[in-house]
A and B are shown apart, each in its own frame.
Chain A
Amino acid sequence: MIQASHPPRRPRRLRLINPRSPLTTISMPEVIQKMTFSRRALFMPLNLAICAAVVPEGWEPEIIDENVLEQPHVPDARGIDAVGIGAMTTQANRAYELSDAYRALGVKVILGGIHASALPEEALQHADIVCKGDAEATLPHALRDLDAGAAMAVYDWRDHPDTPIASPRKDLLNPKDYLVYNPIQTTRGCPHGCTFCTTPSIFGRRFRQRSIPAIVEEVREAKERHNSHTFIFSDDDLAGNHAWAMELCEAIRPLKIRWASQCDILVSRSDKLLAAMRASGCQGLLLGLESPDPRTLSEAGKRYVKAEEYLQRIAKIHSHGISIWGSFILGFDGMRWQDAMRAVRFAQRSGIAMSCYTILTPFPGTQVFEQYRREGRLLTTDWSRYNGASVVYEPKGMSIPELRHAQMAAFREFYHPSSAFRRLRLLPFKRNGWLANLAVYRGLAYYYARKGRPLPSFADFASPGAQARIAASLGERSAALCDWT
C-alpha cells in the first residue's frame, strides 16, 4: 500500500529587529566613533539574542540591528513569516513605523520590550501580538499559537512566571559591531520600587536569578570563542539577593575574569560579599544614588537607604578596591539648580570615579508617569524624546532651560580635569579611570566647540545676565527661557 508522504514543512522564519535608537543621534556620530574605537554601537541587543534562543522548534530566527546599519532597515517580506520587534520607549516611534510597514506587507508582527509591556493597548494599534515582560515566558507560546492559527493579542509573562532565564544566541550577531559584545544577564527584576523605574512596573518586586552553571558556561564560551576577559553583568541589581550573589562570585572566581555590574548601595552592608566580589574580578559597580538629598530620595521612592549614610557606604565599597559609577537624576519636584550643584559636589567629595546626571524621564508604566499625567504635566508623548536628555514634563523646581543647563553643567564640572585629579589622585594611578574621565571631558569640550557654544557652568546661574548665558550655552535663539522646543 502506498502511503502518501508529506514533504517536510520548511522552517518558519522569524525576523527580530532592534529599531534605531535616537540615543545614537544625541551626540555627533564622530564623537561616538572616537569614544567606541570605531565600533558601530555600544551594546549588543541582548534582548533579541534571548528571543532568538527561545523560539520553538520549527522556527528559525534572524536578527537585524538598525543601530549598526549604514541606512535604516527597509522592510522586506520575502522569506519571512513573522517579525518580532523589541523596543525601549525611546525606540517606540521607530518600532511602530517598522511594525506598520511589515503589517502593510502582510507579515504578522509581534511587539515586545519595555514600552510595549507598559502600554500594550497602544502597541496593539501597530502589532498583531504583544508580549509583555519576559520573552522566555511569552514568545514561544505566541509563535506556537501563531502556527496553529490561534494566537492571542497579548501574552503576559505572569502566566508562566517560573520560566527560567535563557542563555542568549550571540552567534547571530557580529562581535566587531559592538563595543560591549558580552553583556551577560545574571538576574532579572529588582526588589525595590523606585518611582521613576520601569522595572517594578513590569516585574513587580519579583526578583529572579539565573542558573549559575548557565552563567559560568556563558562566560567560559565567551572566553574561548572571543578571548573575552572583561564582562558587563547587565542586571538591574546583581546583589539583590546577597546569598545568591556570594554563590555566583564563588563560581566565577576560578574563571579569572574582570567584570562590572549594577546593584543597589545595600551591597555595602556585607564586607564578606564585597570581598567575594572583588576576589571574583569585580572592578566596578554602577549605583543608583539619585541624590544626596533626603527629600529627593524620598520622592524617588528610595526608602531603603538614608542619604546621610551614602558617604560611609561609598567609602566601604571603595575600601574593597571596587570603583563606583554613581548615577544621579535631576529634575525631581523638590530639586532646584542649587541641588543639582550639591549633587555634583557630593559626587566629587565621595571620590567616585565616574558619574552620570540624567534628566528625570517619566517612562510609561512608572509612578512618576502616572503622577505627571494626572497632573497634566507631561509635555509630549513623542517617545523619541524620552531619552534622559530631553525634558518631557513640566518641572517644578526649575525652568526647562535651567534643568537642561544644570545637567550639562553637572557633567562638565564633574569631569573637569581638576575634579578628576581630586577624585582619582595620581597614586595609585587609576589608568582606566583617568582615561574615561578625560575622554568624557574631551568629548564635551569638542561638542561645544563644534557647536560654537560656551561650556556650561553652575556659575552661570548666579551671574549677571544669567538667562542670556544659559541661552547661549544651550544654543537657544532667544533669551526667552519659556521656549522648551
Chain B
Amino acid sequence: MRNVILAAAAMLLTAGCGVQPVYRETSAGAGTITPRSRWTAAGSVTNPRAAIDGNVLTTAAGSAEGGDTLELDLGKACVFQTIVLDHGEAEQGFAARIEVAGSLDGSDYRTEYVTVGQRRITTILLPRPALAQHVRLRVVEPGPAAWTVAELYLQ
C-alpha cells in the first residue's frame, strides 16, 4: 500500500515534467509568427509537410550526402530569431553545418546564419532577428546520418 502511495505521489510530482512542448503559439500582432497550421512546407526533402504536422513520429527526410533543403512559407512576413529542429528518434539526423536563409518574396533569399547542428534537437539562435515570409534551411555539410526533421519551430 505504501508503495502504491509513493508511486502515486511520484506520478503526481512528475506529471508535466516529461518532454515539454518547445513551441507556444504566439498571439496575433505585426510581425508575430503565424500559427503553424497556416504554414506550407516544400524542399528537396522527402515528405516536407511532416516537419510541421505536429507529430514527432513523422519525419521530413533528407540524404546523407548533404545539400538538402526544407522551405517554409509562413503566409506573411514574420519576425523570428530562434529556429528549433527536433530530429525525433533519429538523434544523429542533424546536419554538421546548416544554413538559414530568409526571403520576403520567395525568390530572393538572404543568408541569415550558417551554424552547426546538434544531436537530438538543433537550436539555432540567429545573431539578429530576421524578417521573412519564406524560410529556407539548407544542409551545407552533412552530419553522421541522413538529415531528418521531425518537427520545426520558430520563435
B48 within 8 A of A: no
In the bound complex, how far is the Cα of B50 from the Cα of A378, in angstroms?
26
When the two chains form their complex, are residues A376 and B127 in contact, meaning their CB atoms are under 8 A apart? Answer: no
Checking B94, B114, B115, B119 against A380 with a beta-carbon cut-off of 8 angstroms, the contacting residue is: B115
A382 within 8 A of B: yes
Checking A93, A377, A378, A380 against B125 with a beta-carbon cut-off of 8 angstroms, the contacting residue is: A380
Chain A residues with CB under 8 A of B123: 379
**Chain B 120-139 near chain A by CB (<8 Å), digits 1 or 0:** 10110101000000000000
B96 within 8 A of A: yes
Nearest A residue (CB) for B116: A378
When the two chains form their complex, are residues A381 and B119 in contact, meaning their CB atoms are under 8 A apart? Answer: no
CB distance from A373 to the nearest CB of B (A): 5
Nearest A residue (CB) for B95: A376
CB distance from B131 to the nearest CB of A (A): 19
When the two chains form their complex, are residues B118 and A379 in contact, meaning their CB atoms are under 8 A apart? Answer: yes
Within 8 A of A (CB), among B69-85: none
Checking B114, B115, B119 against A377 with a beta-carbon cut-off of 8 angstroms, the contacting residue is: B119
B92 within 8 A of A: yes
**Chain A 365-395 near chain B by CB (<8 Å), digits 1 or 0:** 0000000011111111110000000000010
CB distance from A133 to the nearest CB of B (A): 24
When the two chains form their complex, are residues B127 and A373 in contact, meaning their CB atoms are under 8 A apart? Answer: no
Residue of A122, A380, A394 with most chain B CB atoms under a 10 A cut-off: A380
Within 8 A of A (CB), among B103-117: 114-117
Chain B residues with CB under 8 A of A373: 96, 116
In the bound complex, how far is the Cα of B118 from the Cα of A122, in angstroms?
20
Given known pairs A93-B127, A382-B125, the reply for A376 and B115 (CB within 8 Å) is no
When the two chains form their complex, are residues B96 and A377 in contact, meaning their CB atoms are under 8 A apart? Answer: no
Chain A residues with CB under 8 A of B102: none
Assign chain B's interface to a size class.
Answer: 10 to 19
CB distance from A354 to the nearest CB of B (A): 35
When the two chains form their complex, are residues A375 and B119 in contact, meaning their CB atoms are under 8 A apart? Answer: yes
Chain A residues with CB under 8 A of B116: 373, 376, 378, 381
In the bound complex, how far is the Cα of B123 from the Cα of A376, in angstroms?
11
Checking A93, A374, A378, A380 against B144 with a beta-carbon cut-off of 8 angstroms, the contacting residue is: A374
Chain B residues with CB under 8 A of A378: 116, 118
Nearest B residue (CB) for A384: B127
Chain A residues with CB under 8 A of B122: 376
In the bound complex, how far is the Cα of B118 from the Cα of A93, in angstroms?
21
CB distance from A43 to the nearest CB of B (A): 27
Nearest B residue (CB) for A373: B116
Chain B residues with CB under 8 A of A382: 125, 127
Chain B residues with CB under 8 A of A380: 115, 125
Assign chain A's interface to a size class.
Answer: 10 to 19
Checking B114, B118, B125 against A376 with a beta-carbon cut-off of 8 angstroms, the contacting residue is: B118
When the two chains form their complex, are residues A374 and B96 in contact, meaning their CB atoms are under 8 A apart? Answer: yes
In the bound complex, how far is the Cα of B125 from the Cα of A381, in angstroms?
9
B88 within 8 A of A: no
In the bound complex, how far is the Cα of B50 from the Cα of A132, in angstroms?
44
CB distance from A93 to the nearest CB of B (A): 7
B62 within 8 A of A: no
Nearest B residue (CB) for A96: B127
B143 within 8 A of A: yes
CB distance from B36 to the nearest CB of A (A): 23
Chain B residues with CB under 8 A of A376: 92, 94, 116-120, 122, 143-144
Chain B residues with CB under 8 A of A381: 115-116
**Chain B 35-50 near chain A by CB (<8 Å), digits 1 or 0:** 0000000000000000
CB distance from B111 to the nearest CB of A (A): 9
Residue of B114, B117, B118, B123 with most chain A CB atoms under a 10 A cut-off: B118
Given known pairs A376-B92, A382-B127, the reply for A394 and B118 (CB within 8 Å) is yes
Chain A residues with CB under 8 A of B92: 376
In the bound complex, how far is the Cα of B92 from the Cα of A378, in angstroms?
13
Chain B residues with CB under 8 A of A377: 118-119
CB distance from B46 to the nearest CB of A (A): 21
Within 8 A of B (CB), among A333-386: 373-382
In the bound complex, how far is the Cα of B116 from the Cα of A194, in angstroms?
23
CB distance from A392 to the nearest CB of B (A): 10
Nearest A residue (CB) for B91: A376
CB distance from A25 to the nearest CB of B (A): 17
Chain B residues with CB under 8 A of A374: 96, 143-144
Nearest A residue (CB) for B118: A376
In the bound complex, how far is the Cα of B123 from the Cα of A374, in angstroms?
16
Chain A residues with CB under 8 A of B125: 380, 382
Within 8 A of B (CB), among A84-129: 93, 122
In the bound complex, how far is the Cα of B115 from the Cα of A122, in angstroms?
11
In the bound complex, how far is the Cα of B92 from the Cα of A381, in angstroms?
19
CB distance from B98 to the nearest CB of A (A): 10
CB distance from B127 to the nearest CB of A (A): 7
Chain B residues with CB under 8 A of A93: 127
Chain A residues with CB under 8 A of B144: 374-376
Give B residues with C-beta under 8 Å from A.
92, 94, 96, 114-120, 122-123, 125, 127, 143-144
- Knowing that A377-B119, A381-B116, A394-B119 are A-B contacts, what are 14 other residue pairs whose CB atoms are under 8 Å apart, sorted by A's residue number? A93-B127, A122-B114, A373-B96, A373-B116, A374-B96, A374-B144, A376-B120, A376-B122, A379-B118, A379-B123, A380-B115, A380-B125, A381-B115, A394-B118
Task: Please provide the 7 A-B residue pairs with the shortest distance between their CB atoms, ordered closest to farther.
Answer: A376-B119, A381-B115, A378-B116, A376-B94, A376-B118, A373-B116, A381-B116
Give A residues with C-beta under 8 Å from B.
93, 122, 373-382, 394
Q: List 18 A-B residue pairs with CB atoms under 8 Å apart, sorted by A's residue number.
A: A93-B127, A374-B96, A374-B144, A375-B119, A376-B92, A376-B119, A376-B120, A376-B122, A376-B143, A376-B144, A377-B118, A378-B116, A378-B118, A379-B118, A380-B125, A381-B116, A382-B127, A394-B118
